[in-house]
Every structure is written in structure tokens, then in C-alpha cells.
Amino acid sequence: MATKVFMEALSPTMEEGRLVKWNKKEGDVVKAGDILAEVETDKAVMELVARGDGILRKQLITEGTTAPVTSLVGVIATADEDIAALISGASAPIAAHAAAPMATPVAAPAAPAGRVIASPLARRLAGDEGVNLGGVQGSGPGGRIIKRDIEAALAGGGATVASAASARVFAAAAPGAAFRDESLTQIRKTIARRLAESIGPIPTFYLTAEFDLSRAAEMRHAAAALGDAFKFSFNDLILKATATALTQHPEVNAHWLGDRIRYFNTVHLGMAVATDDGLIVPVIFDAQSKRMSEISAESKSLAKRARERKLKPEEFTGSTFSVSNLGMMQIDQFTAIINPPEVGILAIGAIEDKVVVGADGGFEVRKKLRVTMSCDHRVIDGAVGATFLQTLRRLIENPLLLVF
């Protein structure tokens, strides 16, 4: 009996998927559990597996095509089985969801042969490493070169490596049309929808505080001297301190559910990660019970797999509070948008050396960090948010409290 291959809901919030690559060709023998294709969901690239044995008789959508969940995308059957009734009329509605090609206005000159389409992050990495983008095969939407393509080229030596200066000139000077249209990726569609759900309906206010990281810097230096096993970053410290502070303020570690507020006894900490395709928020579960070394290792692993689009659905859903850090990009201060149904998010700026008046009246240099908390006023009042930041300040400015 024939087995229908549907576009499955591969993540909890997935409404449609883009078929990135068929791993099996028409005519290939497949067994239940074989990977038929790779599908880009709203969060990651997932595997679409066969649900039956037989031959992949028909592919109903092509690579790069987007189809809604439950759409028929293929048929597995025996070699002599009649599948005409199964595929009749299936292609037409699905084709309407195909990714639109990049459009160029008629009046604009055609893009010259060899024009490179690459993400800003990929261009920067190529420039830093001296990779000629013209020799890199893009795997992103529309053949766009993204970060993983540059990394693959560096690992495999498949790209022409020129001087960093010439690579930067090549990327910046490529002429093109007046504009180009690029179809939205699944993750970008989700970001747009989620932001619309957040910034409009949620009455948000912001609290900004400046923390002193001088003691944290001393502790970090002393830990590093003990060996690699004890090294931690300032971001690791902030994540650990945030998780600890949230256990003391459950009114902040909550979800707004419309007709009720859900307060959590455990901290599932979301950490915003920038990828080539947009922002994704993997989750450190039960962060309140993990040592800083565990948080450090887990956050690095999650960030790496997020950028490679290899996260599992359960790794980017279920956060109770989130942290977004742009300090490494030299952003002094910013406000982050709440990720509903969460009721708060922390925005972490850059660490700066500032001259301040010391206890003895003289001047001294201290490491300072600006933190801004976005609060959903339906759940968090000003005093509640301020009290949470006071606890966070005490933990960050006295980091030994995190090890007792």
C-alpha cells in the first residue's frame, strides 16, 4: 500500500516548511526511518523521514519550495502500484507556495555574471579570512552564501583564498541592479510574526542599571589561572546570576497566558543567538540548578548548533525568561523585545572601563556594564522589576555568592 509523504510539523510552532534538499531521488528504494529530505522550519533545518517501505515514486515539490504543514510532498509505493489518484491535483495547490524568485525591475540593468549574494556575516568572515566569495557555493535561500559555507570552504580548501583586502574589495564593489527581492526564510517569517505579537499588544516599560564587574573580572582572572576547566566568560557569569536571581523573584520568572499568570518554580533560561538567517533563542533548562561550568559548556554548545541550524525543537521552546547580549558587538546599551508569553527580558551591553570616584575620594578605573530590563507591565510593576535588578546587581558585583 502506498505511503503518502506529508510536510510534517517538525517544530511546535511550524506552519509551513521549505524543502531544502531531497536526500532520495525518484526511483530510490527507501525504508521506514530513512531520511527523505531536509526541511527548513521556523527555527532550524530538520530531517523529514520515511514512514513506510517502498520506492520513492514521486516528488511533488522541488528543492527550495515552501509548502504548508500537512501538504502532500511525495509518494512511496511499490514499483507497479498505481499512484495516479494520490497525486492527482496535489501539485497545483502546493506550487502556489513555492518560494518566489528574486525579482529585478525591468528598467534595472541585469546583474552581471559572477555576482555574489552573501549574508553580511559571511562577507565579514570571508574578509577576515581572505576567502574569495566567488569560489564559494552558497547553501542559503536562493543560493545565498552564509556563514557555514565560509567555514566549510576554510575547512576543505574549496575556495580561492586571496589577501583579506582584495576579498573585501571584491565583496563590496560587485555591481548590481537597483534592488533585489529575496523570499523570506521560515525563521524570518516567525521573527516578524512574534515581534508583531510582542511590541504592539504588550505594555512594556524599561529599567536600566549599571553594574560594577571589577570583582567579577578578578574572579575570572583567578579562575583562569587554575586551568581551562575553571575558565568562564562574563556572559556565563551573567547567565548564572540571572538564573539565581530569578529563583528569588518568581514574579519575574512567569508567563502571561491571557486569563491567568503562570509562575515557574524552575528557570528555563533563553539565550538569544544571532544566526545568518535571524535570531533564535535556545534554552538552558533548569539553569538554577547548574554550576557555572555547566552553563558555560551548554551555552557554547547551544549557540554553535543554533548557528548550524542543528537544534532540536525541544531545545528552543519552553523558556521562562530570556537574555540578549550585544556587548561583544560593542553596543553600550539597548532595549530587547519581550518573547511572549514571557514577561521580561534582559539586554546586556558592552563592558567598559570607566573612571569613577573611589571610596577614599580619589579616582580609579572600574569595569562597568549597563543592563536594561524590558518588563511586561501586566505582570511586572516598576518596583518588582527594580527589586529583581537589585538582586542581580548584588550577585554580579559579589560573584562569590554564586558558588555558595
Residue 377 annotated among the catalytic residues of the structure: yes
Render the burial of 306-335: b for 16+ CB within 10 Å, e for the rest. Answer: bbebebebebbbebbbbbbbbbeeeeebee
Spatial distance between the Cα atoms of 283 and 279, rounded to a whole number of angstroms = 13
Residue corresponding to grid cell 518554580: 265
In this structure, the chain runs to a length of 404
Residue corresponding to grid cell 555568592: 401
Q: Which three cell numbers stand for residue 347?
A: 539586554
Coil/strand/helix, residue 219: helix
In 3D, which of 65, 30, 77 has the Cα closest to residue 49?
30
Spatial distance between the Cα atoms of 345 and 289, rounded to a whole number of angstroms = 20
Coil/strand/helix, residue 184: coil
The active-site residue, picked from 97, 221, 268, 377, is: 377
Spatial distance between the Cα atoms of 391 and 245, rounded to a whole number of angstroms = 6
Peptide bond before residue 341 is cis, with ω within 30 degrees of 0: yes
Q: Could you tell me where the beta strands, DSSP code E, fall in 240-362?
A: 254-256, 261-263, 269-271, 273-275, 278-280, 283-284, 321-325, 344-357
Where in the sequence numbering do the catalytic residues fall?
377
